[in-house]
Structure 1
Amino acid sequence: MAGALLLVGLALVSCGGAAGDEAKGKVRVVYHDDAIAPKNRHAVEVVRRSRVLEQAADWVTTSLALPHDMVVEVTDKVPPGVEDAVTQPDGRTIYVPPAFLTELQGVATDVAKSVERPAVFSQDEYNADDLTALATRFVFGHELGHALQRQFMLANLGLEEDAADGFASFSTVNEAGPAPSLAAALLFDELARKEGGTTLEGLSSDHPVTQARVFSFLCHLEGSDPKKYEGPLVGAGYLPKTRAPLCPQAWAMLDYGWWTQLRPHFAAAFRDEGDKKQDEARTHLIAETKAFAENLDKLRTGR
């Protein structure tokens, strides 16, 4: 019987490849120049020059062992009904419509003209083009969150859209700094104002209400380094003082959660670094949870 099982095991290995072989899926960004409407070419060129899509794609390719290739299609030829960035159900294709990038740039133009520059941004980078590229980096992080959940079949304890927003924060704060989160918050806030009041469709959507998402983006950013961001975000009035005390523990949980979800899928070359980051995130979460517990009574009573 043992011999028969051994033969079956050998047969399975010979059919499926050597045991322990690492998946080698890659993320490719493809700009379909012949399928980009003239009115959308400037926004696409802004994003292409910034390389925000390529930077995020390269991190996934080098850090994770994807089971399948992933293609990011920048094209106006999208499936019916697609109006913004979207990930296909199998996690192998992400569409980034140039028309959506043009819409983002229009919102970024309004923000740059009407919203006072947050201290996190330098004077040189607070303009429509840079805000467009930075917000695109965050939005693309959201779509990568969808794609990774689907390719790896990650266990999800809540709405997939919340988890995708979480990956956008996790990946940009850790890999690109504060600017993408803040740019996305500014543009989404402007979009929310343009949308007007909440509607039945908005409240019943699988996406959280836009304004609520804005404060989550800001909360995770502030919580990642309260000493650095409390002044520019809370003191300046972007993040309410009632929310800010919850953010360090919220960020620590998000950071540890994503490192833990991804840990079984680290690429061999990234495994040591990734394991270290996950261990550090766990230690940080324990410390923040302890600090949160010690201050909970004060937070509840407002004293």
Structure 2
Amino acid sequence: MRSLLQRLQWVRFRFANPLLTVLLAIGVFCYVTIGVQSQELAGLSISIPTPPARTELAQVEKRIQVIYSNTKRPFPKELERIYQKTQVFEKLSGLIDNKINLPRNVRVILKECGVTNAFYRPSQHSITICYDLTEYFIDLFKKNGKTDYKAGEMAMYATVFTFFHEVGHMLTSELDLPITGKEEDAADQFSTLLLSKSDVGERSALAAASWFNYATGPTTRAAFMDEHSLDQQRLYYIVCLLYGDEPKKYTTLVQGLGFPRNRLSKCVKEYDQKTKAWRKLLSPYAKKGSLI
């Protein structure tokens, strides 16, 4: 941890602006929230085990491989160094690898894309998380009154939600899961249900809800045609599922958002229904226990 903080101190002199605070928040999130504390995100250990002896390698082969692509701009370079140092995405990917038998290798590519995005490509069996998306989150949260540190922290929580959203797409394709309705909604469901099992996960889902709240723009005809539900719908559905899991914990939040009572009773039923559905879909591929 000391060497990482020293690195961030060096960045302060290089950038000489509030980005240091943002990077510090990201470093603390990756190293402490996902690393040192060995939090149990989604009820699963996210620590990386000691490498096994060579004779054991065939038994513990990992299907998900994290790949770092070259970056050009200073900020993505620093983000990449933090990710590599803390192995945050290796740990998050391990949640899936430890629970699901994937039929083939899948790559998680971290790169500077030049666009704000994250996506799964079935033809390449890969998930791409763009550093540009995390930068977008930082700017979005700062524009909506968050401090530099809080914006960096929330940006990482939202990035974690987005990662598991793309994992939902990946599992749907790689396992040939039958999905009715919009696949984008199903991916939101998967990410929220998975993350609802821990405080760290819940904060990730809530950061995504804040993202959709702040990003809401004018509703156009094209938006109604899009494969994604409207941002406000995504916001309310994430909160609905969180409430369905823990009604007492989220009563104040849903009241503040104006949820009608009859909707809240359905949220509880929907949480149970969607959890049961995903468990049944994934059960033939489970290594041990349940992912959701």
TM-score, normalised relative to structure 2: 0.71
Query: Which of 84, 88, 91 is residue 55 of structure 1 equivalent to?
Result: 91
> What residue is the counterpart of 1:240 in the other structure?
259
Residue 28 of structure 1 deviates from its aligned partner by 2.1
Task: Give the AA of the match of 1:203.
Answer: F
> What residue is the counterpart of 2:40 in the other structure?
none
Residue 260 of structure 1 deviates from its aligned partner by 1.0
Deviations 1:194-236, CA, capped at 9 Å, x for gaps: xx210122111011111111101111111111022212x123x
Number of equivalences:
233
Q: Structure 1 residues 155 and 238 mapped into 2: Cα distance closer, same or farther (>3 Å)?
A: same
| C-alpha distance in 2 between matches for 1:126 and 1:179 | 15
Root-mean-square deviation (CA, aligned residues, Å) is 2.8
Task: Give the AA of the match of 1:28.
Answer: Q
TM-score, normalised relative to structure 1: 0.69
Deviations 1:223-275, CA, capped at 9 Å, x for gaps: 111022212x123x1352343222111111111111111100011xx1xx23x
> What residue is the counterpart of 2:286 in the other structure?
266
Q: Structure 1 residues 178 and 112 mapped into 2: Cα distance closer, same or farther (>3 Å)?
A: farther
SS of the equivalent of 1:189 reads: helix
Query: Which of 239, 243, 247 is residue 218 of structure 1 equivalent to?
Result: 239
Q: Structure 1 residues 57 and 169 mapped into 2: Cα distance closer, same or farther (>3 Å)?
A: same
Task: Give the AA of the match of 2:277.
Answer: G
> What residue is the counterpart of 1:188 in the other structure?
212
SS of the equivalent of 1:94 reads: strand
> What residue is the counterpart of 1:75 in the other structure?
111
> What residue is the counterpart of 1:117 in the other structure?
none
Greater CA radius of gyration, 1 or 2?
A: 1
Q: Structure 1 residues 28 and 239 mapped into 2: Cα distance closer, same or farther (>3 Å)?
A: farther
Residue 24 of structure 1 deviates from its aligned partner by 5.4
> What residue is the counterpart of 1:27 in the other structure?
64
> What residue is the counterpart of 2:102 in the other structure?
66
Residue 56 of structure 1 deviates from its aligned partner by 2.7
Task: Give the AA of the match of 1:238.
Answer: L
| C-alpha distance in 2 between matches for 1:44 and 1:244 | 41
Report if the CA contact (8 A) 1:36-1:75 is conserved.
Answer: no
Residue 109 of structure 1 deviates from its aligned partner by 2.0
Compare relative contact order (CA 8 Å, sep 6+) and give the higher one, 1 or 2: 2
Q: Structure 1 residues 36 and 163 mapped into 2: Cα distance closer, same or farther (>3 Å)?
A: farther
| C-alpha distance in 1 between matches for 2:149 and 2:244 | 23
> What residue is the counterpart of 1:156 in the other structure?
179
Residue 160 of structure 1 deviates from its aligned partner by 1.0
Report if the CA contact (8 A) 2:116-2:136 is conserved.
Answer: no
